[in-house]
Structure 1
Amino acid sequence: MRPKAGRARAVPAVPDMLAGPLPLRPGQSVELLKELHILTPEGRLNQDSRRKLKQVHHLIQFIEPLLAELAAEGAGLTLADHGAGKSYLGFILYDLCFKALGQGHIYGVETRAELVQKSRLLAQKLGFGRMSFLDLSVADATVADGLPAHIDVVTALHACDTATDDAIAFGLHKNARAMVLVPCCQAEMAACLRRDKALQLARTALAELWRHPLHAREFGGHVTNVLRCLYLQASGYQVTVTELVGWEDSLKNELIIARHTGQKKHGAAQRLRAILSALGLEEALGARFGLDASGTRQALAAQGAAH
């Protein structure tokens, strides 16, 4: 029977909380997840929290083998998590990895003082004694006294705009043995491309790739990550690029994993410079990627001497 005209069909309500077993790792602390407000006080999980937990668990799958490898080398592990926010990643890493290892220290770096204080109180409450939290920008953390001279692993999950570049600079300065990066929005490159758009359109048809603002933003983000990878390779890191999670869970989905080998790829430095030159961005962005005005690699040479 057809419904009467003018009477709207009832739409079933979508429950806020999801049914089914919780997607937890073996031995994972339910108390911690409640304190982080990933689980409700009743131990339930909503769609947004499930998405966050899935991202963190997936990222830990890449970090865990690095930690095990470094621990096997006899290192007293140190990990710096930049743009830590509420420190979901740091706390869950400590719970799942650092407690079992019985060694190592996690440093959460965050600019919002209220989040830093909450994280300190939570670590104290849970007895996570090998965690520290610093109210600093990523750039300031490079020279801050509250961090050791050497950091083994650098993480940056969804660091906005140039914060990923600051995390890379931090990792290079601290002689990091591994970096795990998930870049977020990237506005700087798009702004640089738009600034000289008319000149570039007259010079090359490739400028059509960023004629429109949406394309400039997407193209700029992609190029920036390519340059970051080349910079890391030129600095002596082996680089892998993959997906963090499926596109249905996050649009900011690119995962960059860099492992220090000490083998600098000179070809990567040349390609980095060639891309900047082709886009007319050497002057604007060259210094960020270790190029001085003449194109020499003096910044990278200094880093190489430190390794």
Structure 2
Amino acid sequence: MNTPTSQRKPHAPPAKRRGSADAALDASELRPGQSIELLHELHILTREGRLNQDARRKLKQVYHLFHFIEPLLQDCAAHGYDPAHRPTLADHGAGKSYLGFILYDLYFKELGRGWIYGIETRPELVEKSHALAQRLGFERMRFLNLSAAASAQAAELPERIDIVTALHACDTATDDAIDFGLQKKARAMVLVPCCQAELAACLRHDKALHLARTPLAELWRHPLHTREFGSQLTNVLRCLRLEASGYQVTVTELVGWEHSLKNELIIARYTGQKKRSAAERLHAILAEFGLEATLGARFRIPE
């Protein structure tokens, strides 16, 4: 039976697309002295000075990450390598140097010293970041068109770096950033790994052998599990390598980045206490999964 017109529910208005509604920026959402021009350039703010939902989440995420990095900056500002230039920070896989610009604006600008080096393989992004730094007067930012692997020998970088960051550096680029940090004797490293495909590929290659040898191979028998387990195991090996190299390691979630599936944050502080047990466990894990031949060199521990 048809429902009388008078009893039909009115059509709901079409739902607004997520993040499409703009709202005026609340001054309480900014840090003291924060550059409005920078927020415009990073497309967090519209030209009308408004903030949509996606941009508001992004701003909160940046503040949350800054919460982790600021204590490291403060420690290195006091105890870093070069009293005249500390702290120094190298950002690998910098992209548009979003992190570097925010860190400079929130910390380095007021400090009046310290340098940020953005390391990125795409020359057009390096050029754009350089131009933006000039427009904003961020004089102690440098941008290098280099890979993480090549940057350790670059003459443009100081012999020692206080802090190394690598956020969503894909696959082995995170390991290259760790190599860089170890060579530069970094006092701290902040890593958000991404797309760890190398180890998963090794697990897939020898899957039949492992299934015959141990029931633990069920952990990566299915392709989805292979990817997830490979990612988990890669980060475990990275943490053991850092501990064996003299770092105290903390692993946590990058809370607030719900839109990203890559939400693991590794923070390593150099203490000089090299854990022999960490080195032993790293080698034991590589041996257990038959990875010594293919990945032993990648996870080597410096003398």
The normalised TM-score by structure 1 is 0.90
Which amino acid counterpart does residue 164 of structure 2 have in structure 1?
Answer: V
Post-superposition offset of 1:9: 4.9
1:130-154 Cα offsets, whole Å, 9 max, x none, are 0000011111111111111110000
Residue 16 of structure 2 corresponds to which residue in structure 1? 13
1:235-275 Cα offsets, whole Å, 9 max, x none, are 00000111112463321111000000111000000011111
Residue 294 of structure 1 corresponds to which residue in structure 2? none
Alignment of 1:71-220 (within 5 A): 71-73=77-79, 75=83, 76-220=86-230
Between 1:37-46 and 1:79-88, the stretch displaced more is 37-46
Between 1:71-80 and 1:146-155, the stretch displaced more is 71-80
Local SS of the residue matching 1:251: coil
Post-superposition offset of 1:8: 6.4
Q: Structure 1: which 5+ runs fail to align?
A: 291-298, 302-307
1:61-106 Cα offsets, whole Å, 9 max, x none, are 1111111112122642110000001111000100000012111000
Alignment of 1:215-294 (within 5 A): 215-246=225-256, 248-290=258-300
Which amino acid counterpart does residue 277 of structure 2 have in structure 1?
Answer: G
Post-superposition offset of 1:3: 2.9
Post-superposition offset of 1:39: 1.2
Q: Structure 2: which 5+ runs fail to align?
A: 1-5
Post-superposition offset of 1:26: 2.5
Post-superposition offset of 1:43: 1.5
Where in structure 1 do 4 or more consecutive aligned residues deviate above 6 Å?
none
Residue 30 of structure 1 corresponds to which residue in structure 2? 36
Residues in 2 aligned to 1:9 and 1:97: alpha-carbon distance in whole angstroms: 47
Residue 55 of structure 1 corresponds to which residue in structure 2? 61
Q: Residues 20 and 41 from structure 1, CA distance in 2 versus in 1: closer, same or farther, beyond 3 angstroms?
A: closer
Residues in 1 aligned to 2:289 and 2:207: alpha-carbon distance in whole angstroms: 10
RMSD: 1.7
Local SS of the residue matching 1:289: coil
Contact 2:25 2:51 in 1 (8 A): no
2:49 maps to which of 43, 54, 70: 43
Query: Does residue 67 of structure 2 align to residue 64 of structure 1?
Result: no
Local SS of the residue matching 1:270: helix
Which amino acid counterpart does residue 21 of structure 2 have in structure 1?
Answer: M
Contact 2:253 2:265 in 1 (8 A): yes
Q: What is the identity percentage for the equivalent residue pairs of Structure 1 and Structure 2?
A: 71
Contact 1:181 1:257 in 2 (8 A): yes
Which amino acid counterpart does residue 3 of structure 1 have in structure 2?
Answer: R
Local SS of the residue matching 1:13: coil
Residues in 2 aligned to 1:262 and 1:83: alpha-carbon distance in whole angstroms: 27
Which amino acid counterpart does residue 264 of structure 1 have in structure 2?
Answer: K
Equivalenced residue count is 291
Residues in 1 aligned to 2:257 and 2:143: alpha-carbon distance in whole angstroms: 31
Local SS of the residue matching 1:45: strand
